[in-house]
Amino acid sequence: MTGRTVAPRLNHPRLLERIAKLAEIGAIEGGGVCRLALTEADKAGRDLVVGWMRELGLQISIDAIGNIVGLRPSRTTGAAARAPVMTGSHIDTVRTGGRYDGNLGVLAGLEVMESLNEAGVETEHPLAVAVFTNEEGARFAPDMMGSLVYVGGLPLEDALATEGIDGTRVDAELRKIGYDGAAPVGAPAVRAFVELHVEQGPVLEREGVTLGAVESLQGISWTEFSVSGVSNHAGTTPMRLRHDAGYLAGATITFVRDLTRELGGDQVGTVGAIEFGPNLVNVIPNRARFTVDLRNTDEDILQEAERRLRGFVAKTAEQEGLTIEQRQLARFEPVLFDAALVARIEEIAGRLGHSVRRLPSGAGHDAQMLARICPAAMIFVPSVGGISHNVREFTDASDIAAGADVLLHILLELAS
Amino acid sequence: MTGRTVAPRLNHPRLLERIAKLAEIGAIEGGGVCRLALTEADKAGRDLVVGWMRELGLQISIDAIGNIVGLRPSRTTGAAARAPVMTGSHIDTVRTGGRYDGNLGVLAGLEVMESLNEAGVETEHPLAVAVFTNEEGARFAPDMMGSLVYVGGLPLEDALATEGIDGTRVDAELRKIGYDGAAPVGAPAVRAFVELHVEQGPVLEREGVTLGAVESLQGISWTEFSVSGVSNHAGTTPMRLRHDAGYLAGATITFVRDLTRELGGDQVGTVGAIEFGPNLVNVIPNRARFTVDLRNTDEDILQEAERRLRGFVAKTAEQEGLTIEQRQLARFEPVLFDAALVARIEEIAGRLGHSVRRLPSGAGHDAQMLARICPAAMIFVPSVGGISHNVREFTDASDIAAGADVLLHILLELAS
């Protein structure tokens, strides 16, 4: 950083190269990525990103839940340093994930830093790029774990004791990959947070709009049901004498679909994971475990959906003579982003010549956690075919460039 | 066998001891057994039974599909030897099976042989105890594989090429455990076949009847459906744009239950096995695989059930934008046992002082295959609580004794 500055400009090909490079780690057939949180692949991805942060001269800190923050100091340093303006996202993926989800937000943040370095720009407030631990929740529930701990929404010790779907624990896996950092969680305090992310839905593409200014986030409710019945012979056991754990799972899948139809609006519901025991063609299942994912932007309707689901499962279990245990894997209320910040994103996008619309997010994001402690908002770029959590996830290079440009400008504005 | 004979009497405690001894192999928690067909545990069970056959002086032959036959020669030997009267069953189990299912029929057969030896009884026709390969079908479909090959209902080469749920093949697994025998399949020809088996259902116990004379067997239809959809984000994908493979699985589970209600009578239907991909809480499943087991004693109604099932799955797949593949894992028409033989079993049971009733069997059994080539029937003893294919499977010692006694008398009658 010298005294002479020019207007910073992003190097878009460099950003795309970093996306491609990071996607080589944990690459799976079809162009996708498998880097479940805290696995060896996640470690390799983290190492790559931390290496880039170091090359950019960022001050790197890693906290006790493995969140990585790369800080670009402000004009004023030392004790007089101000709270940084933060961007970032996550680099963990689902098992059959794409290369943009999360990764784009982190790597666009690095590109902003590099272009500011190249242009010799100094800011009033420091800038920071964060990589939050376990956003996906595909291995350890809840999702958005790292950012939730960062904002104080989940005690560190609870997060560390979380058991994963493979029987491992967060603390042990963090130690194993060497990302059980020494920095205090929740540091630094944040002046504002803006996250760039792929939409993961079909709205922008279908309306031919380049950018989304995200104004709200759906509330999320994840429940795991464990059902116990009686395994018995599929041929000799009359229907009326059955205690079929699998039947409750199937009936619930059907119920969830009907429920979304009845509630309408943007209510969605998904049974994504299931398991029967003993899982044989000619044995009535005595065990069934399945998850239900419910989301709505309206907290009241989401609670109504949860109530009806619980009621249906309890009633059906009683009729079938089953016992059930239920466990809340995740629960987040809908979030409203900072109205002024959303308006600024809209304005900047228009000024840069991009079509833009406000929209809610159907997915959960780290930004919703940061919204608890500072003004926060998000920029969306379109997902082709609305496809995400899938190896075919794709966003056009020109849309990525547009989103990253808006990120650069809003961060500069917030940091000055 | 000497010239002096006494009336043969079974040694009931010895039979119970053999049942307990065999149950030690592959024993699992709760008193159950896991000896899936052609595993190392199955081999160990077979070795034990073959050893007992040898001690009893039986002539042992093992055929190319691994069926074991222990022959007790008749008075007339050599070229003039007549077709044997056969009893037997199977010793493979489901993954969480009991100790009586199948095993009882084989070990009661051995007890009959031993008591005839002790009493010095010679018969006009030879007697044989068979152990048929893979009756359960829990690892390799179809079930009743060994007896089906024995009677010529399934080409040997097709059976040998069967791929299991664990990716193994029947021929390789037979070789591995050393039960790819040299005897021609289908030998010897059989004069008559009677199988002693636990009911695996609740009828005898609920009516307080000791023995069942089985007069028919349900037809069995097993189908595996493999569904392909599109995996996508559970939060951002509107319900109307989903291609959820898991939804079809759930809807089918619900449909099968409704179908059994509509068809009524003894129609049963079970979805016992299921698998989703990628099987994550927040990803719409793009893959679902599940099995449907339909049974009825009436072939016309069974075909009607199959038609309706296929129709429902096809229609729902089209509505949801899914592709389906279906594979018939097993299909057997209902079987009527030999009326004269069933009457003889009834008469003998009554003569020995046991309450007895005719009933159909809800489960498939090796006897239904043998019924294609000779007069065949079965004797049922009660299953406590109607429970089977479960570690809690249990039959009272006095009921076992009653059933084995009837087996002794009917075999003696048929062999003279």
Tell me, yes or no, whether B4 lies in a domain.
no
Query: pLDDT (tens digit, 9 = 90+) per residue, B227-237?
Result: 999 998 899 89
Q: Using CB atoms and an 8 Å cut-off, which of residues 159-188 of chain A contact chain B?
A: none
Tell me, yes or no, whether B6 lies in a domain.
no
A22 & A161 share domain = yes
With CB atoms and an 8 Å threshold, state whether A390 touches B143.
no
Q: What is the pLDDT of residue B79?
A: 47
A277 & A356 share domain = no
B45 & B155 share domain = yes
With CB atoms and an 8 Å threshold, state whether B253 touches A257.
no
Token pair 């800011």 is found at A123
CA distance linking residue B10 with residue B357, whole number of Å = 23
CA distances from A325 to A224, A228, A321 (A): 8, 9, 14
| Candidate from A202, A233, A239 with C-beta closest to B201 | A233
The answer to whether A203 and A383 are in contact (CB under 8 A) is no
B171 & B290 share domain = no
Burial of B81 (0-12, 13-18, 19+ CB in 10 A): middle
Å between A203 CA and nearest CA of chain B: 9
The answer to whether A203 and B363 are in contact (CB under 8 A) is no
The ipTM of this complex is: 0.77
Q: How many CA atoms within 13 Å lie on the side-chain side of A325?
A: 7
Tell me the chain A residues in contact with residue B389 when contact means C-beta distances shorter than 8 Å.
231-234, 280, 282-284
Asked if B320 reaches chain A (Cβ–Cβ under 8 Å), the answer is no
Distance of CA A165 to the CA centre of its chain: 18
Tokens for B94, please give them. 């489901």
Å between A298 CA and nearest CA of chain B: 14
Query: Helix, strand or coil for residue A61?
Result: strand
Tokens for B391, please give them. 């570690």
Tell me, yes or no, whether B104 lies in a domain.
yes
Query: Helix, strand or coil for residue B103?
Result: helix
Higher pLDDT, B203 or A243: A243
Domain boundary (A296, A311, A332) is at A332
With CB atoms and an 8 Å threshold, state whether A94 touches B278.
yes
With CB atoms and an 8 Å threshold, state whether B257 touches A278.
no
A91 & A203 share domain = yes
Write the CATH number for A292: 3.30.70.360
Query: Helix, strand or coil for residue B412?
Result: helix
| Candidate from A254, A286, A362 with C-beta closest to B250 | A254
Asked if B384 reaches chain A (Cβ–Cβ under 8 Å), the answer is no
Domain boundary (A332, A357, A389) is at A332
Within 10 A of B207 (CB to CB), how many other CB atoms are there?
A: 12
CA distance linking residue A165 with residue A274, whole number of Å = 12
Q: What is the pLDDT of residue B363?
A: 86
Asked if B96 reaches chain A (Cβ–Cβ under 8 Å), the answer is yes
Q: What is the pLDDT of residue A81?
A: 66
Q: What is the pLDDT of residue A75?
A: 84
| Candidate from A95, A278, A390 with C-beta closest to B96 | A278
Tell me the chain B residues in contact with residue A363 when contact means C-beta distances shorter than 8 Å.
233, 235-236
Q: Using CB atoms and an 8 Å cut-off, which of residues 326-345 of chain A contact chain B?
A: 329
A326 & A345 share domain = no
Tell me the chain B residues in contact with residue A389 when contact means C-beta distances shorter than 8 Å.
231-234, 280, 282-284
Degrees, nearest 5: CA angle B169-B171-B172 = 70
- Evaluated on CA atoms A35, A38, A44, A48, the torsion sign reads positive
Write the CATH number for A115: 3.40.630.10
Tell me, yes or no, whether A101 lies in a domain.
yes
HEC readout, chain A: CCCCCCCCCCCHHHHHHHHHHHHCCCEECCCEECCCCCCHHHHHHHHHHHHHHHHCCCEEEEECCCCEEEEECCCCCHHHCCCCEEEEECCCCCCCECCCCCHHHHHHHHHHHHHHHHHCCCCCCCEEEEECCCCCCCCCCCCCHHHHHHCCCCCHHHHHCCECCCCCEHHHHHHHHCCCCCECCCCCCCCEEEEEEECCCCHHHHHCCCEEEEEEECEEEEEEEEEECCCCECCCCCHHHCCCHHHHHHHHHHHHHHHHHHHCCCCEEECCCEEEECCCCCECCCEEEEEEEEEECCHHHHHHHHHHHHHHHHHHHHHHCCEEEEEEEEEECCEECCHHHHHHHHHHHHHCCCCEEEEEECCCCHHHHHCCCCCEEEEEECCHHHCCCCCCCCCCHHHHHHHHHHHHHHHHHHHC
Query: Helix, strand or coil for residue B263?
Result: helix
Tell me, yes or no, whether B25 lies in a domain.
yes
With CB atoms and an 8 Å threshold, state whether B257 touches A247.
yes
The answer to whether A248 and A287 are in contact (CB under 8 A) is no
B2 band by pLDDT with thresholds 50, 70 and 90: very low
Q: What does the DSSP assignment read for B1-29?
A: --S--------HHHHHHHHHHHHTTTEET
Buried b (16+ CB within 10 A) or exposed e, B69-80: bbbbbbeeeeee
Query: pLDDT (tens digit, 9 = 90+) per residue, B333-352?
Result: 999 999 999 999 999 999 99
With CB atoms and an 8 Å threshold, state whether B233 touches A388.
yes
Number of domains in chain A: 2
Degrees, nearest 5: CA angle B108-B114-B118 = 145
A171 & A267 share domain = no
Q: What does the DSSP assignment read for B37-70?
A: TTSHHHHHHHHHHHHHHHHTTPEEEEBTT--EEE
State which residues form the domain around B265. 219-332
Tell me the chain A residues in contact with residue B280 when contact means C-beta distances shorter than 8 Å.
94-95, 138, 272-273, 389
CA distance linking residue B256 with residue B250, whole number of Å = 10
User: Mutate which of B232, B256, B384 to disrupt the A interface (most A C-beta within 10 Å)?
Assistant: B232
A147 & A228 share domain = no
Q: Using CB atoms and an 8 Å cut-off, which of residues 259-288 of chain B contact chain A?
A: 260-261, 266-276, 278-286
Q: Using CB atoms and an 8 Å cut-off, which of residues 348-367 of chain A contact chain B?
A: 361-364
Å between B91 CA and nearest CA of chain A: 16
CA distance linking residue A115 with residue A315, whole number of Å = 60
Tell me, yes or no, whether B5 lies in a domain.
no
Å between B77 CA and nearest CA of chain A: 42
Pairs across A and B, CB distance < 8 A: 258
CA distance linking residue A30 with residue A390, whole number of Å = 9
Lowest model confidence (mean pLDDT) among B144-148, B310-314, B328-332 = B328-332
The answer to whether B348 and B379 are in contact (CB under 8 A) is no
Asked if B216 reaches chain A (Cβ–Cβ under 8 Å), the answer is no
Tell me the chain B residues in contact with residue A224 when contact means C-beta distances shorter than 8 Å.
281
Q: What is the pLDDT of residue B4?
A: 57
The answer to whether B223 and B291 are in contact (CB under 8 A) is yes
| Candidate from B199, B241, B244 with C-beta closest to A386 | B241
pTM given for the model: 0.76
Tokens for B85, please give them. 């009267």
B299 & B397 share domain = no
CA distance linking residue B377 with residue B396, whole number of Å = 22
With CB atoms and an 8 Å threshold, state whether B268 touches A136.
no
> If you average pLDDT over every residue of chain B, what do you get?
95
Q: What is the pLDDT of residue A77?
A: 62
Tell me, yes or no, whether B7 lies in a domain.
no
Tell me the chain A residues in contact with residue B244 when contact means C-beta distances shorter than 8 Å.
270
Q: Using CB atoms and an 8 Å cut-off, which of residues 110-129 of chain B contact chain A?
A: none
Tell me, yes or no, whether B357 lies in a domain.
yes
The answer to whether B137 and A282 are in contact (CB under 8 A) is yes
When pLDDT is averaged across residues B27-41 and rounded to a whole number, the result is 96
Terminal CA-CA length for chain B: 16
B301 & B398 share domain = no
Q: Using CB atoms and an 8 Å cut-off, which of residues 52-91 of chain A contact chain B?
A: none
Q: What is the pLDDT of residue B362?
A: 85
Q: How many CA atoms within 13 Å lie on the side-chain side of A121?
A: 26
Asked if A380 reaches chain B (Cβ–Cβ under 8 Å), the answer is no
Nearest CA in chain A to B386: A237
Tell me the chain A residues in contact with residue B387 when contact means C-beta distances shorter than 8 Å.
230, 232
CA distance linking residue B265 with residue B360, whole number of Å = 13
A105 & A207 share domain = yes
Query: Helix, strand or coil for residue A212?
Result: strand
With CB atoms and an 8 Å threshold, state whether B361 touches A143.
no
Within 10 A of B49 (CB to CB), how many other CB atoms are there?
A: 23
Tell me the chain A residues in contact with residue B141 when contact means C-beta distances shorter than 8 Å.
281
CA-based nearest residue to B201, from B356, B361, B349, B364: B361
Q: What is the pLDDT along chain A (416 residues), one digit of tens a residue?
A: 445 568 899 999 999 999 999 999 999 999 999 999 999 999 999 999 999 999 999 999 999 999 999 999 998 766 456 899 999 999 999 999 999 999 999 999 999 999 999 999 999 999 999 999 999 999 999 999 999 999 999 999 999 999 998 999 999 999 999 999 999 998 778 999 999 999 998 889 989 999 999 999 999 999 999 999 999 889 989 899 999 999 999 999 999 999 999 999 989 999 999 999 999 999 999 999 999 999 999 999 999 999 999 999 999 999 999 999 999 998 989 999 999 999 999 999 999 999 999 999 988 899 999 999 999 999 999 999 988 889 999 999 999 999 999 999 999 999 98
Å between A234 CA and nearest CA of chain B: 6
| Candidate from A95, A138, A247 with C-beta closest to B253 | A247
B157 & B301 share domain = no
Domain boundary (A305, A332, A359) is at A332
With CB atoms and an 8 Å threshold, state whether B250 touches A246.
no
Helix, strand, coil percentages (3-state) for chain B, rounded to 5, are 40, 25, 40
Asked if A239 reaches chain B (Cβ–Cβ under 8 Å), the answer is yes
Nearest CA in chain A to B279: A273
CA distance linking residue B73 with residue B58, whole number of Å = 8
Do you know the residue count of chain B? 416
- Evaluated on CA atoms A279, A285, A287, A290, the torsion sign reads positive
Degrees, nearest 5: CA angle B348-B354-B356 = 80
The answer to whether B295 and A235 are in contact (CB under 8 A) is yes
